[in-house]
Homo-oligomer: A and B are copies of this chain.
Amino acid sequence: MRLSAIHMLAASAAPVRAFVASAAPSVARFAGGSSGIFSGARQGLRGAVLASKARPVSRTMRMANSQRLGDPIGQMMDKTDVFIFDCDGVIWKGDSLIEGVPSVLDRLRQAGKRIFFVTNNSTKSRKGYKSKFDSLGLSVEPEEIFSSSFAAAAYLEQTRFKDTGKKVYIVGEVGIEEELDLIGVPHFGGPSDGSKGVELKPGFALPHDENVGAVVVGFDRMINYYKIQYAQLCINENPGCEFIATNTDAVTHLTDAQEWAGNGAMVGAIKGCTGVEPTIVGKPGPLMIDYIIQKYNVERSRICMVGDRLDTDVLFGANNGLMSILTLSGVTTEEKLLSPENKINPDYYVNSINDFFPFYT
């Protein structure tokens, strides 16, 4: 039997350091002889998520073989119909599947839970992500995948953009192009403008299409001044032109060896030359959750967001009235989660989603 742990967070006036000192090893994982059952009411816990003065307190629990009333895993499973998983840092890291994940997903499906995967990475479409899941040996349906490229298309569909007869200018990669093709919205820019520059001579103006009604900005490794200027002209000079950001993540994981500047950079560039705030369609915006609730007729309070980032995933859950679980298998350390500076607290946290079924793996 492999021992594992699920952790709960609750608001408390007790400072973390004092707690750690008096109850060490409060964060020891897989340790025997630990503390027992913690049965804090969920209502009380929800309030902790955004309470800016709340200090998180960690309580570690070794689970018994049987699920007992009041144990955190049982509570969480009982209260959840839908799990929404962030991908990078939760399902995989870079190009490597996190060990044990296929079995966890199978067991959740067997238990009747509905599963979705959300990712702020807009460089792939749903179809592109399906290939990535396939290549990692994970069987998922395209409809279970909510990439921010799809979210941009879903937003344009929801707002009946096609009816305006206008076009989209893309700062971003192929994922956005593929999703816009699927909904029949004309677009240009993106990879095709990756090697364009501007010619500067007296009297020169970069011509731009006055029929662009929206600029969609996603992560773009080929960002350049031409694209920035083109986007600026559309947003500043075309009346009513929308500025849509797939997401604003500061950093992302292009490779698992370091953090890479994320779409926060591309969106920041366009904000910086227009003074306009974008509509954010990915996390932590509400669009994807509203879409899932409406399309699949699920209850908001019975959805649990599972992610590895406090300021996107957990905040996304909190802002949208969902339960949330932080997994330490990605970018957030337990130290950061439990530090007094952190004001964003999930309902639960785990080492990895393997901890959902600690006794069967």
Contacts and interface: CB of A to CB of B under 8 A. Distances in A.
Contacts of A266: 269, 272
A267 interface: yes
A261 interface: yes
Nearest to A276: B250
Most buried by B among A236, A254, A262: A254
Contacts of A275: 250, 264
Contacts of A260: 198, 206, 229, 232
A334 to B, nearest CB: 21
Taking the full assembly, how many copies of this chain does it contain? 2
B257 A272 contact: no
B272 A250 contact: yes
A256 B223 contact: no
Contacts of A51: none
Nearest to A221: B225
A223 to B, nearest CB: 6
Interface string A80-96: 00000000000000111
Interface residues of A, number: 48
Given A205-B255, A225-B223, A254-B200, A268 B262 contact: no
A21 to B, nearest CB: 28
Nearest to A220: B225
A255 B229 CA distance: 13
B269 A265 contact: yes
Contacts of A259: 232, 236
Nearest to A268: B272
A25 B51 CA distance: 57
A257 B203 contact: yes
A272 B269 contact: yes
Contact of A273 (B94, B205, B257, B268): B268
Contacts of A254: 198, 200
Contacts of A202: 94-96, 255-256
Given A223-B228, A250-B275, 5 more contacts: A96-B202, A221-B225, A251-B273, A262-B273, A269-B272
Closest 9 CB pairs of A and B: A268-B272, A264-B272, A261-B273, A268-B268, A205-B257, A205-B258, A265-B273, A269-B269, A232-B261
